[in-house]
Amino acid sequence: MASIPSDHNARPAAPHENPVVASHFRSKAEQEDAGKMGMWLFLTTEVLLFGGFFCAYAVFRMLYPETFEGASAKFLDWRIGAINTVVLLLSSFTVAMSIRNAQLNQQWWLRINLIITIACAIFFLVTKLWLEYWPKIVEGKLPGTFFTYSGAMTDHDQIFLSIYWTATATHGLHVLIGVFLLTWLLVRAWKLHFGPKTYLALENVGLYWHVVDLIWIFLFPLLYLV
Amino acid sequence: MTHPSHPNMPGESNAHDHHEGPHISSVRTLVTVFVALLAFTAITVFTAKMTDLGDFGDIVLALGLASVKGTLVCLYFMHLRYDNVFYSFLFLSCLGALALFLGLTMLDINNRDNIDPIRSQHAVPVPLDIAGRARFDEAQRLGRDLYMANCAACHAVDARGIPGLGENLIGDSFVLRSSDAELVDFIIKGRTANDPLSETGVPMPPRGGNPNLTDEQIAQIVVYVRALQPKDAKPKP
């Protein structure tokens, strides 16, 4: 193992100062390019996955415009959606900041920003389950054949709810996975795995997290507002 | 600048974009983008609640604002503006595929009825005023559903009849010769198998065998069957 040039001779090297390059890569730069490109390819599939929900929304909105125009106000509270939007935007901001922290070797700020991000993600999930999903389950505002809500005004209310549940639950699952990934990052940050030379995992999870935010940016107005 | 090995001291990163090594976003950039995203969220909520541009206008406005927010996230939070252009290319290709996917589906949904016999034929004079036209389209659509539920079993889904069961209805002299009211009347009463006027020897049950069909629904079925007739159809003498 090569010795690390360091100004502090007495201090043992932190893991991030000694990045590992897998043997099948010619250089660390190549390894990072490949890793990031893989992440971007994965993200394109994510966008296309959610594209299916947006397509379903567009088709049914075109077929039943009267149902969809009233459904946001009837079934959803825009304030909860707006709060969750702000929370996700904040978490995107802190994750972007955490990459900067790693690049500048600000280990404490890195941890703090990751903790804020995780807290935002958990807040999002709790709000969703407690204030949105649970009351809907109780009232029977459920997708497809589970729909037992008695106050439905049109035959197509359940179509809106089916799209709402499918899209937001898939999105929520992504948030939950994000919580685990971010926790993994936090543990690694505590072990000093990230620094100016080594922050690819941070960047890649960050990209994933931004796409989760990006999708919510489009889901929010379509489901809660217009 | 002077020491590429320590290019990024806190607070100076943004001023020197041409240093070696990866770009580091400045706190100011990130905060500005975050505040802009909050502002656009507020604008989205405000315009959706306060303005009414019609159903379509509201959607376009909301999606337009969401796209601005999305672009900011991609360029600054996801770092595309400073990163390898190839990642931008990948992501834009994906958005292009998404646009094709959504666009072609919408084209299909929008134009599907145009190749349906209902819309392509004009055997029935079409009311000119928009409200009348809408009522007429609605009657045809309801009539088609009713036809499929009540008549198609014997007269076939394409209304060309089934041997030994129902008559062909398209271009049929009886259909073409009779007025709407006569046809409605005929469907209400039906015809027994031994009726001298019967052409097939198969009974036509009153109301197509469904006593729950209202007269109005039968009229809607007639509107649908009329629309199926070829444009230049004339009754045989």
Say how far apart CA B69 and CA A88 lie, in whole Å: 13
Do A222 and A71 form a contact (C-beta atoms < 8 A)? no
More confident residue, B233 or A101: A101
A75 closest CA partner among A170, A123, A124, A147: A147
Domain boundary among B90, B113, B136: B113
- Which residue of chain A comes nearest to B70, CA vs CA? A214
pLDDT of residue B120: 47
Say how far apart CA A104 and CA B152 lie, in whole Å: 74
Phi, psi at B191, each rounded to 5°: -150, 135
**Statement to judge: residues B75 and B109 lie in one domain:** yes
Q: How is residue A123 annotated by DSSP?
A: H
- Give residues with Cβ within 8 angstroms of B75, minimum separation 6: B81
pLDDT of residue A11: 75
Residues of chain A with pLDDT > 70, as a percent, come to: 94
- Which residue of chain B comes nearest to A95, CA vs CA? B77
A69–B70 C-beta distance less than 8 A: no
Task: Average the pLDDT over B108-112 and give the result.
Answer: 80
Task: Average the pLDDT over B116-143 and give the result.
Answer: 61
Q: What is the mean pLDDT of chain A?
A: 91
Q: Is residue B103 part of a domain?
A: yes
A44–B94 C-beta distance less than 8 A: yes
Q: Name the residue range of residue B187's domain.
A: 122-228
pLDDT, tens digit (0-9, with 9 covering 90-100), for A32-52:
999 999 999 999 999 999 999
If one counts every other C-beta atom within 10 angstroms of the C-beta of residue A179, the result is 18
DSSP 3-state of B213: coil
pLDDT of residue B115: 58
Confidence grade of residue A12 (pLDDT, cut at 50, 70, 90) = confident
- Give residues with Cβ within 8 angstroms of B203, minimum separation 6: B190, B191, B192, B193
Domain boundary among B80, B113, B146: B113
Question: Positive or negative CA dihedral for A9, A14, A19, A23?
Answer: positive
Do A74 and B4 form a contact (C-beta atoms < 8 A)? no
Residues of chain A numbered 92-131 and touching chain B (CB < 8 Å): 92-93, 95-97, 99-100, 103-104, 106
Residues of chain A numbered 23-52 and touching chain B (CB < 8 Å): 33, 36-37, 40-41, 43-44, 47-48, 51
**Statement to judge: residues B127 and B224 lie in one domain:** yes
Confidence grade of residue A129 (pLDDT, cut at 50, 70, 90) = very high
pLDDT of residue A162: 92
In order, the DSSP letters of A58-71 are HHHHHH-HHHHHHH
Residues of chain A numbered 155-214 and touching chain B (CB < 8 Å): 196, 203, 206-207, 210, 213-214
Q: Is residue B31 part of a domain?
A: yes
Do A202 and A209 form a contact (C-beta atoms < 8 A)? no
CA atoms within 13 Å, Cβ hemisphere of A213 = 33
Confidence grade of residue B117 (pLDDT, cut at 50, 70, 90) = low
If one counts every other C-beta atom within 10 angstroms of the C-beta of residue B180, the result is 13
**Statement to judge: residues B165 and B190 lie in one domain:** yes
CA atoms within 13 Å, Cβ hemisphere of B49 = 12
Q: Is residue B18 part of a domain?
A: no
Q: How far apart are the first and last CA of chain B?
A: 99
B33 touches chain A (CB under 8 A): yes
A171 closest CA partner among A71, A73, A40, A49: A49
CA distances from B206 to A52, A85, A159, B185, B209 (A): 46, 60, 36, 10, 6
**Statement to judge: residues B126 and B166 lie in one domain:** yes
Q: Is residue B20 part of a domain?
A: no
Confidence grade of residue B13 (pLDDT, cut at 50, 70, 90) = very low
Task: Average the pLDDT over A72-98 and give the result.
Answer: 95
Contacts of A217 in chain B (CB under 8 A): 66, 69-70, 73
Residues of chain B numbered 73-132 and touching chain A (CB < 8 Å): 73-74, 76-79, 83-84, 86-87, 90-91, 93-95, 97-98, 101-102, 105-106, 109-110
**Statement to judge: residues B79 and B142 lie in one domain:** no
Most confident of the following: A74-83, A89-98, B13-22: A89-98
Q: Is residue B9 part of a domain?
A: no
pLDDT of residue B17: 47
pLDDT, tens digit (0-9, with 9 covering 90-100), for A137-180:
998 888 877 888 877 666 688 889 999 999 999 999 999 999 99
Judged on CB neighbours under 10 Å (0-12, 13-18, 19+), B204 is buried
Domain boundary among B93, B113, B133: B113
- Which residue of chain B comes nearest to A5, CA vs CA? B5
Say how far apart CA A211 and CA B5 lie, in whole Å: 33
Token pair recorded at residue B62: 């909301």
Per the structure, the count of domains in chain B is: 2
The residues facing A37 across adjacent strands are: none
CA distances from B148 to B107, B143, B153, B166 (A): 26, 8, 8, 14
Q: How far apart are the first and last CA of chain A?
A: 60
Task: Average the pLDDT over B17-39 and give the result.
Answer: 87
Per-residue pLDDT for A96 more than 50?
yes
Token pair recorded at residue B37: 């995203």
Q: Is residue B107 part of a domain?
A: yes
- Which residue of chain A comes nearest to B64, CA vs CA? A218
Do B75 and A28 form a contact (C-beta atoms < 8 A)? no
Do B159 and B147 form a contact (C-beta atoms < 8 A)? yes
Per-residue pLDDT for A191 more than 90?
yes
Token pair recorded at residue B78: 């996801």
Q: Is residue B81 part of a domain?
A: yes
Distance between A218 CA and the closest CA of chain B, angstroms: 6
B59 touches chain A (CB under 8 A): yes
**Statement to judge: residues B103 and B133 lie in one domain:** no
Do A203 and A93 form a contact (C-beta atoms < 8 A)? no
Confidence grade of residue B136 (pLDDT, cut at 50, 70, 90) = confident
**Statement to judge: residues B103 and B137 lie in one domain:** no
Say how far apart CA B224 and CA B211 lie, in whole Å: 20
Most distant CA atoms of chain A, gap in Å: 74
Task: Average the pLDDT over B72-96 and give the result.
Answer: 95
**Statement to judge: residues B96 and B37 lie in one domain:** yes
Task: Average the pLDDT over B95-105 and give the result.
Answer: 95
Do B218 and B207 form a contact (C-beta atoms < 8 A)? yes
If one counts every other C-beta atom within 10 angstroms of the C-beta of residue B98, the result is 18
Task: Average the pLDDT over A180-191 and give the result.
Answer: 97
Query: Where are the domains positioned within chain A?
Result: 50-225
B60 touches chain A (CB under 8 A): no
A150 closest CA partner among B94, B8, A158: A158
Q: Is residue B149 part of a domain?
A: yes
Q: For the domain A50-225, what is the CATH superfamily, name and number? A: Cytochrome c oxidase, subunit III, four-helix bundle (1.20.120.80)
